[in-house]
């Protein structure tokens, strides 16, 4: 009987143990990070807020009950009612509709400006971190010069040179945030450029561009993604500040910052003219900050099991 057992080969249990262990999709870094993210209550709350703002921005013409620039002097300074949930301004324009359309402007400026900063800043950071000392010094000293100026003052100076307008505001805000992404990308590259897998790729004859794009860039995406969400919040604040000073969105186009500027002169008479655009800025920035904090915790490798 013993010989029969040997002839049958290894038992079922032994065959199961001999099978290679396959890591399922739930064990990957990104899926594990997503699980931690959805367990982060503040990040989920921030995502819901941002989803509402995004819907307002994308489907503004279908959501807004009135034309944001339509004037009706018969209802000037009307308080919040069912017909006008957020009241009207000094020209009889519906504030609710203008807040909805203002979301489109803020999101457009934020995403375009941060996209410019992400692409240019990350590229400069990768080049500085991977290249020789001279190239690194030239790039990073230039970034230090830009980083030395307060963000809003530098944006105002750029707009003073380029002129007012939403397009120039996007460019100005994007240029202001380039040094942040460059420093983050460079720091991440310096931390991994001497790792064994990079040295092995060089020994196999891989070109520098392929090494950077295939081996280095994926390893620096985590801090870049976190910084994108946080920079979006500051970009929206910057756009609101520039529009408040009359350098960004120009009338009659609605902008949250512009609406705050228009409402400050009538705050005692019609506080809702400034309160509701201010709340829109507050909740949007808060949503991006909560999401950024959640992503930072979710993508932290120290917290991964």
- DSSP class of 85: T
- The set of residues, in sequence order, having a beta carbon less than 8 Å from that of 229 and lying 6+ positions away, is 288, 291, 292, 295
CA distance 236 to 287: 12
- The set of residues, in sequence order, having a beta carbon less than 8 Å from that of 27 and lying 6+ positions away, is none
Helix (H) / strand (E) element for 172: namely helix 166-192
pLDDT at 101: 92
CA dihedral 276, 280, 285, 291 (to 10 degrees): 130
**CATH 3.30.565.10 is held by the domain 31-69+82-303:** no
* Integer angstrom CA distances of residue 268 from 262, 272, 277: 13, 10, 16
Phi, psi of 2 (to 5 degrees): -65, -40
Contact 251, 102 (CB under 8 A): no
Question: To 5 degrees, how large is the angle CA 129–CA 131–CA 136?
Answer: 65
CA distance 286 to 26: 30
CA distance 243 to 112: 16
CA distance 229 to 227: 5
Looking up tokens 């970034």, which residue turns up? 143
List per-block mean pLDDT (blocks of 10 residues) for the chain, which spans 305 residues: 45 44 49 81 91 90 88 89 90 92 90 93 91 90 88 86 86 91 90 80 80 81 88 91 86 87 86 92 93 83 55
Contact 183, 224 (CB under 8 A): no
Decide: helix, strand or coil at residue 94: strand
pLDDT at 300: 67
Tokens of 289: 């900050």
For the chain, the C-alpha Rg in angstroms (whole number) is 26
Q: What residues form DSSP beta bridges with 88?
A: 94
């Amino acid at each position: 009987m013993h010989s029969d057992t040997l002839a049958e080969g290894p038992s079922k249990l032994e065959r199961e143990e001999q099978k290679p262990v396959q890591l399922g999709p739930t064990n990957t870094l990104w899926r594990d990070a997503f699980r931690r993210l959805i367990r982060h209550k503040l990040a989920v709350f921030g995502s819901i807020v941002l989803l509402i703002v995004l819907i307002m921005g994308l489907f503004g013409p279908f959501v807004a009950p009135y034309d944001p620039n339509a004037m009706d002097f018969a209802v000037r300074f009307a308080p919040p009612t069912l017909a006008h949930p957020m009241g009207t301004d000094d020209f009889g324009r519906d504030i609710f509709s203008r807040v909805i359309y203002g979301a489109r402007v803020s999101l457009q400026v934020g995403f375009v400006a941060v996209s410019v900063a992400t692409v240019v800043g990350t590229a400069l950071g990768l080049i500085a971190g991977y290249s020789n000392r001279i190239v690194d010094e030239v790039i990073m000293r230039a970034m230090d010069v830009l980083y030395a100026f307060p963000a809003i003052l530098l944006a105002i100076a750029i707009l003073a040179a380029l002129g007012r307008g939403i397009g120039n505001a996007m460019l100005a805000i994007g240029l202001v945030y380039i040094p942040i992404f460059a420093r983050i990308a460079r720091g991440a590259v310096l931390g991994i450029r001497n790792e064994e897998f990079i040295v092995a790729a060089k020994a196999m004859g891989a070109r520098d561009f392929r090494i950077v794009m295939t081996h280095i860039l994926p390893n620096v995406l985590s801090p870049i993604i976190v910084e994108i969400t946080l920079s979006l919040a500051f970009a929206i604040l910057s756009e609101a500040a520039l529009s408040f000073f009359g350098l960004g969105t120009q009338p009659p186009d609605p902008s949250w910052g512009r609406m705050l500027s228009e409402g400050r002169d009538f705050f005692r008479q019609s506080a809702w003219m400034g309160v509701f655009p201010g709340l829109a800025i507050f909740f949007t920035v808060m949503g991006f900050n909560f999401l950024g904090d959640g992503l930072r915790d979710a993508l932290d490798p120290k917290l991964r099991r």
